[in-house]
Structure 1
């Protein structure tokens, strides 16, 4: 109408940046439009959140979904290996000669000396306690256990063989592996500790659900080899087969057989005092004469098949 009004411009922004400018007479319209869109999107977001919550709540009861979202391995594993002389079952190998000829030491002093060394290796037998806890809502069935060998060699002669009396163990399930077998298999351990028996999984099964705990006491024995190895669990979860590797912390398990000769052998008397002894006598205490892994007739038959 011939009247000149100064032009007032307002910038309207979206998620993609500035989109347009409008004249002064349109400012109120823009504000109303913004309120409308804001209310519209708030309703959409609220509705979508409610639907998403309902879906999550529904699926949370589905074990397939919960297991798919679960983190970590199917079974949580805790390994406790006797890594100190004082708690050890059987014998240790150490490089060098800890005692001089004619020297004697009480057992606690020997344990203190040896516990500071990191070069000791289980000789003839390794005893390990393994605790498994279910980490899936579907049942985890342990259908077998086998050994994965990392290294294998004949024990080098020399060093010291230290014989230590057995301290015993308290476990729910006891399984033994004869590492001298061509293919070591899990075997029942004789209740009197005189040897390994039939194959464990021929007559047993182990199932673990979420939160359930199973304790194993493993015994690994060898006369022949200086061997490092891992444990491998064969598992079935809701019809799907998988495996899970168990190590001794960050290291493999390590068991050393009987060497042909030692520089020194140490044994303890009834008073708990260690002294140098004859290597053949020390070896006989550990694994008999001749030295061997003790298997019953059932195991021998199974091994021959």
Structure 2
């Protein structure tokens, strides 16, 4: 877009704030439509926004970059002071990203409470951050996440520690649910892979799997490596002999002269980038009648 040149940066800010023209630039301050930038698209100072009730406001960045960008931000604030201004971490963020950033800001401030000489100053900082989140949520009529609401009430280090404890518990529970779901999906996909309904398998448990292709007489791994049946049987004998001798680490062996055998033990074998459980190997060889 070719921007209209204006006489100075104050005029740029004034025109943007009052919706005069589609674009404008003077020196390193410019606007295009609802957005006004300092130096380039990498630094969005502010943007006009509207809510479902017909209200208008300006989201103004709380970031600082340099003295000149700070001066530009001050100029934009002054030019748009006739409108509701909401300070935000980044005007480009969506609501979820905004709330997450405000939560992280409060967490960072609250983490200094325990050793602060004047903790009341930090509590005021927390209040200012949360007030911005409240203004944003009120304008768009959206609910503030529970974690951020709780963080906004922190007044001492004990409350901060409790917040961190709850956050840790929540994350652990989320990770556990994700892992359970990932393993459930793996079980379904593994069955499809074994039945040759697909040639691709992404695992969630950190292990690789085996199947036998009766047409090619080759053992296939879930990483799409193929091993001739005869070589596979020979290697299985090596695995059994090595286990009988107590296993090995950095085994000084290679499968098909290509894949380094890194470990053979009672739980798994590791060959190249493959890690296959002994349970999987025994199940596979039993099916093959080895």
Using structure 1 for the length normalisation, give the TM-score.
0.20
Higher relative contact order (CA 8 A, sep 6+): 1
Larger Rg: 1
Structure with the larger helix share: 2
Structure with the larger strand share: 1
Using structure 2 for the length normalisation, give the TM-score.
0.21
